[in-house]
Amino acid sequence: MIVTGERGRNMAFGSKLVAGNWKMHGLRADGVALARGLAERAAGAGRACELLVCPPASLLTTVAGVLDGCGIALGGQDCHAAAKGPYTGDISAEMLADLGCRYVILGHSERRHGHGESDQVVRDKVAGAWRAGLVAIVCVGETRQQREAGEAAGVVSVQLTASIPDGATSDTLVVAYEPVWAIGTGLTATTHDIAVMHAEIHARVPAGTRVLYGGSVNPKNAAEILGLAEVDGALVGGASLSADDFWSIAGAAG
């Protein structure tokens, strides 16, 4: 059912998105076990939110097979901007789509900081994702130093402007606000700071675009964060490696 929600956006009823970023974790047996755990839970319960898992590229085919028909979407963790070519070690958005992906995470801080990806690089990758028909989950967020210097809103604003090509729509774009200092640290932004930043992001992206929060979301803090009206879901790293924890977070979104 499509309803008009707050901020005048069209949204599928109850359509928060909870996405699991498995990062570089898991051999095939681990991927199968985790995906089976999720598929079993999906079979046994109704759910008011949309679920997505983003395994490493090596596990996409395996996980796609296990999740087939259970309603949990599949996504990549990164892609190259080009459709194909001499780019050793890379994967294109077309290849992800071919494996059954509907989403791709782009501009994660571990790519921006660990691989030196600029806003322009992220922007080109987003264009590649759209070319292949994928929804781009564009990650933005400030470092601890930037927040302490009062620069968080400015940094995120520049990232949004410079990383998202023209032509974005709420069907092709998801934004994930992930303060860098909160990723994998056990620290989370205050609900006040999350609400303020999400409102600012919502004002800068097309109406109806989902804005996820990411940064040490876990079963204990999920209800408080996902209960915020400005938060349209979560991007979950560490806790998505446990089917129990991921399901518990998904429950908080429903």
Q: Which of the residues 111 through 170 are near ligand PEP (CB under 6 A)?
A: none
CB 193, min distance to ligand PEP, A: 16
Q: How far apart are the first and last CA of the chain?
A: 15
Among 208, 215, 233, 251, binds ligand PEP (CB under 6 A): 215
The catalytically annotated residue of 178, 198, 202, 230 is 178
The pair phi, psi for residue 164, each rounded to 5°, is: -115, 120
**Any contact of residue 217 with ligand PEP (CB under 6 A)?**
yes
Phi/psi at 52 (5° precision): -140, 140
Q: Does position 214 bind ligand PEP by CB under 6 A?
A: yes
Say whether 115 is catalytic.
no
What are the backbone angles phi and psi of residue 96, rounded to the nearest 5°? Answer: -65, -45
* Binding positions for ligand PEP, 218-237, rule CB under 6 A: 235-237
For the question of residue 110 being annotated catalytic, the response is no
Name the nearest CA neighbour of 111 among 150, 81, 72: 81
Among 57, 63, 183, 197, binds ligand PEP (CB under 6 A): 183
Options 108, 110, 198, 230, the catalytic residue: 108
CB-side exposure of 185: number of CA atoms within 13 Å? 13
Q: Nearest to ligand PEP by Cβ — which residue? A: 237
The 10 Å Cβ neighbour count of residue 219 is 17
Q: How far apart are CA 187 and CA 151, in angstroms?
A: 19
Site string for ligand PEP, 234-253 (x = CB under 6 A): -xxxxx--------------
Residue with tokens 């095939």: 28
Which residues carry out catalysis? 108, 178
* Binding region for ligand PEP (CB under 6 A): 21, 178, 183-184, 214-217, 235-239
